Amino acid sequence: MDADGTTALFALSGQPVIGLELKVSNLPSDPAQPQADGDDAHEAQLLVTLPASLHYSGVRALDPAEKPLCLSNGNASHVECELGEPHEERRPGHLLPHPYSTSGITIETAELEVELLLAT
């Protein structure tokens, strides 16, 4: 609680890394008519843009058979992940745990905004 006892505070002290778990899939827009659209997604990528207070620190696939390739820029504020070639149609999806360093988060940090963009 804060000084007046009315606002709950969420602190990450002692938590050097937090994770964002992403599930990526390639499903038809209308499950009742899956043949109407949907193809394998070629050169599928996940693009992640981070606020200055978070820094990318790596990725691993939960399924050892999947090996996502993720690269970040010099200050770890932008990450590009290749999702497979091709990312198959009607694939149920795979999880990408993304760990981030919390060293830039302070008590004054009110929110964290992470931009996610899927591209083919």
Per-residue pLDDT of the chain (120 residues; tens, 9 = 90+): 456 666 655 566 567 777 777 777 666 677 787 676 666 667 778 888 988 888 887 766 556 666 657 888 888 888 888 876 655 554 555 556 677 788 888 888 888 888 888 887
| Integer Cα distance of 81 and 59 in angstroms | 9
- Is residue 71 packed enough to be buried (19+ CB in 10 Å), middle (13-18) or exposed (0-12)? exposed
> Domains of the chain (ranges plus CATH)?
17-29+38-119 (2.60.40.1510)
DSSP class of residue 87 equals B
CA angle (45, 46, 50) in 5-degree steps: 145
Give this prediction's pTM: 0.65
- Check if the beta carbon of residue 40 is closer than 8 Å to that of residue 115: no
